[in-house]
Structure 1
Amino acid sequence: MPKPITLLLLFCLLSGCTPPAELDQQLYIWQRQWRPSHAEALQQTRKTFSQLRVLALQYHPQAGWSAARPDLALLRADGRPLVAVVRLDGRLPEQPAEVIRRSLALLDDWRRAGLPLVGLELDHDAGTAQLAHYRQLLTALHQQLPKGIRLSITALPAWLDSPELPALLGSVQQSVLQVHAVQRASQGLFDAAQARQWAERWSRQSQTPFLLALPAYSVALLDEAGRRPLIEAEAPLDNRAPRRELRSDPHAMALLLRQLREQPPPHLQGLIWFRLPLADDRRSWPLATLLAVARGEALQPQGELQVHSENGLSQLSLYNRGNLPWLLPTRLQLPASQCSAADGLRHFHLQREPTQLLFIRKQPAELRPGSRLALGWARCAVINQGGWNAQP
């Protein structure tokens, strides 16, 4: 079936309208330790995301410097243009020259490894009062970068009201406006309407190209009475405080992308998704969801019942063929007769009836795209797989 964007382009060609802009789309890779699942994830994203921005080095005032461990051989084989990201937590280091020295050493290592390096990005959540100081560091770093290496920064909407912003943006070749996790956690993770407004304002301030960083993940807010809320990301916290999920909604993101394609703000060069999801990530969107949103495809789960029979024993499982997580049905009816034995597994309790097997969900759970879940087993003379019925 043709993609929605393809159909719209065809309509525009026939009618003479102006087709929507095809915004460049890129990916952050933020895992500090790389795993074998990176290879498959990179392979599946090659046709959709043009460039990779990879966490390479991090500084924290208490912990000092630490290096991420990306698989350089895998990145070299992937071949897409790379931007090395240096994350600076908290306040800037007291010795800015050390930032420059380590950044240049990182670039040298990656270039000697044969990586297609095109840029360096500093990721620093500077307070507005520190922007002038930050600009001095960026100016000095820019002057020492090797030829052909572009300097970019992540940027915050809070900087929009600072008189230092024009000079700051003038010291780099590109900025990445982050529009997620930039407000109080109690206000949520992401607001599409607010993100669009920030992008419009940023386009009026910036005379250099900028990209919009969008979230493809969720976090949990742990609210302990009388204490500052804790944020739980991929690593689970050993805490029994009430959890509130803060999610980025794929449908809202798809609408925002459609709006940006139809009316892109001036100087908007593209989008960057945070972050590359791996199969075992707990809080990232499934990769199938991210790819569908980025490509402008229809979003929907597609659950199906699968039956594998051998020697009179039927193994029953559920499979999600769609691109959104599938909320497991509360009740699933499977026409079956002459059953000598049957049972539900893990998530489902079985209630046997004369003409059907009735599986009742024990508690809410989701099945991610491309995932399979054991439903139960049965020894029945007749199972009508095509007659199954699921109730939300």
Structure 2
Amino acid sequence: MVFFSRLIILLTTLALLLGCDQKGTPALDQQLYIWQRQWTSAHEAALADSRMDFSTLRVLALQAFPQAGLSRARIDPLLLKRDGRPLIAVIRLDGQLKSLNQDEVTVQIQQVVIEWQAQGLHLAGVEIDHDAGISRLPGYREFLTQLRAVLPASLPLSITALPAWLDSPELPALLSTVDSSVLQVHAVSDPRRGLFDPEQARQWAKAWSRISAKPFYLALPAYGVALLSSASGAPIVESEVRLERDGERRELLADPQQLSELAIQLRNDPPAHLAGLIWFRLPLINDRRAWSLTTLRAVSRGDALDSQLSLKLSADEGLYDIAIENLGNLDNAWPERVTLAVQGCEGADALAGYALQQSPDLLTFTRLRDGRIAAGGQRAIGWARCSKIDQGASNVHP
């Protein structure tokens, strides 16, 4: 009897200790930016598919551009209300603005808050996204102090922050004016060097944690851009909206594997005050420079990443539609080459992006340009009218 009593005490103690450990290391919060200036029907499916994995939506609400002035994003309040997740209204103040009309911007932000709340949206905060230079941080602090004074006391105020500010003695005073900050660790230097450096991001997060006594988040990339040349030599960056410019485009894409490894490291050993990760941006079905939502969810969960490209044939009385499908959870480049073992082909052709070479028993499709097949998606590459295509003897060459 004594033995069983001691065993029960031991098991109870172990359970309590394990429970304490789990309480002491909460999972990092996962949030999403929605950055489209004009919403479309594609937002409905994207919101529904993202609901289980991302707790909060940070929604572009208002932008201020040089010369163009202030412009509202055309959100869909009914979709957001039905979604029900907490919302943070993001106010983007372009870093190239020569000066801030503080009174005008403040009034516009107040109007956003009033309208969103009147529409029944779950407004949980306001975020100011302003890439101010270090020399302008004192003026930025004054603006934030003024804004904080007129916003409802119960509404948290946050800012997007740049790693360059780590060198400024003004940073602690700036952070004291807000409830939290979002450290942007992507596309902060010359984009020709890449969108993201995981080791640099980790070092910036550690440095930020030593200065910020308040919760902070990391803004992480789940997208790509294209670089176009210009007369000045500085690259022109093309993002989700295609620019009306000719010329070669150099594509840059944040690497999901790098981001997955960083996220796992941060979960296992988070810097002090790190509250969560915010992914930029919610991908829509037609967003050609964002990760697919399948890949984004897998990265945020810490799942093992894998692409599984396979040949897909759809036959109708000897006419074959030829496509490549990605059955994995990781977006993948179009395959370089696809070979099909065939018999009795009367005709065949490649679709845009591929070229066809044909012999009596082999069709070879060769990639002409770059592209990606989303996880769970497919890409048609051609057609053929043949008496037989032997799928088992055909190959996809990455």
TM-score (ref. length: structure 2): 0.88
Q: 1:315 aligns with which of 309, 312, 321?
A: 321
State the partner residue of 2:309.
303
Alignment partners' CA distance in 2, 1:26 and 1:123: 16
Q: Classify the secondary structure of the residue corresponding to 2:58.
A: strand
Count of aligned positions: 380
State the partner residue of 1:148.
154
Q: 1:25 aligns with which of 14, 18, 30?
A: 30
* 1:57 has 2:62 as partner: yes
State the partner residue of 1:291.
297
- After superposition, the C-alpha distances for 1:129-184 in whole angstroms (9 at most, x for unaligned) are 22222112212221222243111111111111212111111111111111112112
Q: Classify the secondary structure of the residue corresponding to 1:227.
A: coil
Amino acid at match of 1:105: Q
Alignment partners' CA distance in 1, 2:152 and 2:331: 45
- The 5 A counterparts of 1:356-367 are 356-367=362-373
1:320, 1:371 within 8 Å by CA — same for their partners in 2?
yes
Q: 1:181 aligns with which of 160, 175, 187?
A: 187
* 1:87 has 2:86 as partner: no
- The 5 A counterparts of 1:265-280 are 265-280=271-286
1:93, 1:99 within 8 Å by CA — same for their partners in 2?
no
1:21, 1:262 within 8 Å by CA — same for their partners in 2?
no
C-alpha distance 167-48 of structure 1, shift in aligned 2 (>3 A): same
Q: 2:264 aligns with which of 245, 253, 258?
A: 258
Structure 2 segments unaligned to the other structure (5+ residues): 1-13
State the partner residue of 2:229.
223
State the partner residue of 2:113.
107
- After superposition, the C-alpha distances for 1:10-46 in whole angstroms (9 at most, x for unaligned) are xx99x97967652101011111000100111111110
State the partner residue of 2:71.
66
2:225, 2:289 within 8 Å by CA — same for their partners in 1?
yes
1:61, 1:93 within 8 Å by CA — same for their partners in 2?
no
Question: How far does residue 364 in structure 1 lie from its aligned partner after superposition?
Answer: 4.3
Q: What is the aligned-residue identity percentage?
A: 51
Question: How far does residue 225 in structure 1 lie from its aligned partner after superposition?
Answer: 5.2
* 1:212 has 2:218 as partner: yes
Question: How far does residue 187 in structure 1 lie from its aligned partner after superposition?
Answer: 3.1
1:58, 1:88 within 8 Å by CA — same for their partners in 2?
yes
State the partner residue of 1:375.
381
Alignment partners' CA distance in 1, 2:36 and 2:325: 28
Alignment partners' CA distance in 2, 1:281 and 1:73: 22
Alignment partners' CA distance in 2, 1:88 and 1:121: 11
Alignment partners' CA distance in 2, 1:47 and 1:299: 19
TM-score (ref. length: structure 1): 0.89
- After superposition, the C-alpha distances for 1:196-255 in whole angstroms (9 at most, x for unaligned) are 111001001001100000111122222335433222222223334554333311111111
Q: Classify the secondary structure of the residue corresponding to 1:387.
A: strand
Alignment partners' CA distance in 1, 2:204 and 2:366: 46
C-alpha distance 375-156 of structure 1, shift in aligned 2 (>3 A): closer
1:321, 1:370 within 8 Å by CA — same for their partners in 2?
yes
1:315, 1:377 within 8 Å by CA — same for their partners in 2?
yes
- The 5 A counterparts of 1:158-197 are 158-197=164-203
Q: Classify the secondary structure of the residue corresponding to 2:71.
A: strand
Alignment partners' CA distance in 2, 1:311 and 1:340: 13
Alignment partners' CA distance in 1, 2:187 and 2:358: 48
Question: How far does residue 370 in structure 1 lie from its aligned partner after superposition?
Answer: 3.0
RMSD of Structure 2 on Structure 1 (CA): 2.4
Amino acid at match of 1:194: Q
Deviates more, 1:228-237 or 1:246-255: 228-237
Alignment partners' CA distance in 2, 1:338 and 1:295: 48
Alignment partners' CA distance in 1, 2:192 and 2:363: 44
2:311, 2:396 within 8 Å by CA — same for their partners in 1?
no
C-alpha distance 363-128 of structure 1, shift in aligned 2 (>3 A): closer
Deviates more, 1:85-94 or 1:256-265: 85-94
- After superposition, the C-alpha distances for 1:94-146 in whole angstroms (9 at most, x for unaligned) are 53122222111110000000000110111111122222221122122212222
Amino acid at match of 1:72: P
Amino acid at match of 2:117: R
Question: How far does residue 353 in structure 1 lie from its aligned partner after superposition?
Answer: 4.2
Alignment partners' CA distance in 1, 2:343 and 2:193: 53
State the partner residue of 1:7.
none
Alignment partners' CA distance in 2, 1:275 and 1:128: 26
State the partner residue of 1:36.
41
Q: Classify the secondary structure of the residue corresponding to 1:272.
A: strand
Amino acid at match of 1:78: D
Alignment partners' CA distance in 2, 1:21 and 1:94: 39
Q: Classify the secondary structure of the residue corresponding to 2:109.
A: helix
Alignment partners' CA distance in 2, 1:92 and 1:26: 31
Structure 1 segments unaligned to the other structure (5+ residues): 1-11
Question: How far does residue 262 in structure 1 lie from its aligned partner after superposition?
Answer: 0.9
Amino acid at match of 1:283: R
